[in-house]
Amino acid sequence: MQRLLNKVVLVTGAGNGIGRASALRASAEGAAVCCVDIDAAALDALAAEIVEGGGEALAQPCDISDESSVKACVAACVARFGGIDAVVNMAGVLRFADTGEMTLEQWQRVIDINLTGTMLLTREVLPQLIERSGSIVNAASTAALAGLPCGAAYAASKGGVLAFTRSIAVEYAKRGVRANCVCPGDIKTGMTSGVDFPESMDFSLMPRISSLTGPKGPEVVSGVIAMLISDDGAHITGEDIRVDGGTLS
């Protein structure tokens, strides 16, 4: 399929996981891709892979929690490609901590990246999306819809992303911009496999956030994202789409 032909898609968190899969899928469907991540080496490898496959990509390092870095990132993408048609906000961190022992620094780090970073990038790119009747897909999580043991900061950040996205969808619908969330669950990525758990963690609570069909790779989420930012999603806005194998069924 070439649903994104002649489109420019900016993907954050493109260095790994769902972000990387989304960048590759957008390129495969015809888009030029601005690949954004804090990991410059991972971006270079991704951009090289896209170019070798016949696509067009820009590797743009960025700390999405830093306002000046976000401004420079969006400016570089517009300078390279002439505009932006869609934003896929997948950058994020996952940290577990006993809520009663969580430090303010631990809390703030998750909020700064997952929630504030999503706001900063979205805010900066909105003029482009208004001009091109563009689309936003943000990364929420099943953690936004159900309790996550020892994951209060992560769940709060993703609940915030979900509410933020719904607000953007309403505020900008009449200006031609669509905004949706994906809520992945039980997806195998570097972020989910490399976490540390506190000693107080009760692992008997974890099966309630496990999928009925087993964990899947990030490509199952990237396919949904490609649909949402394409014309196939033209009448979808303000939605949170679970990609979780029946986790919350």
pTM for this predicted structure: 0.94
Please write the tens of the pLDDT for every residue from 222-235: 999 999 999 999 99
Print pLDDT tens along the chain (249 aa). 799 999 999 999 999 999 999 999 999 999 999 999 999 999 999 999 999 999 999 999 999 999 999 999 999 999 999 999 999 999 999 998 999 999 999 999 999 999 999 999 999 999 999 999 999 999 999 999 988 888 999 999 999 999 999 999 999 999 999 999 999 998 988 766 667 777 787 777 776 677 888 899 999 999 999 999 999 999 999 999 999 999 877
Q: Where are the domains of the chain?
A: 8-240
The catalytic site residues sit at 154
DSSP the chain: --TTTT-EEEEETTTSHHHHHHHHHHHHTT-EEEEEES-HHHHHHHHHHHHHTT-EEEEEE--TTSHHHHHHHHHHHHHHHS--SEEEE---------GGG--HHHHHHHHIIIIIHHHHHHHHHHHHHHHHT-EEEEE--GGGTS--TT-HHHHHHHHHHHHHHHHHHHHHGGGT-EEEEEEE-SB--HHHHS----TT--GGGGGGGS-SS--B-THHHHHHHHHHHSGGGTT--S-EEEESTTTT-
By the 8 A CB rule, do 6 and 30 touch? Answer: yes
> Could you tell me the CATH superfamily of domain 8-240?
NAD(P)-binding Rossmann-like Domain (3.40.50.720)
In angstroms, the CA 175 to CA 179 distance is 12
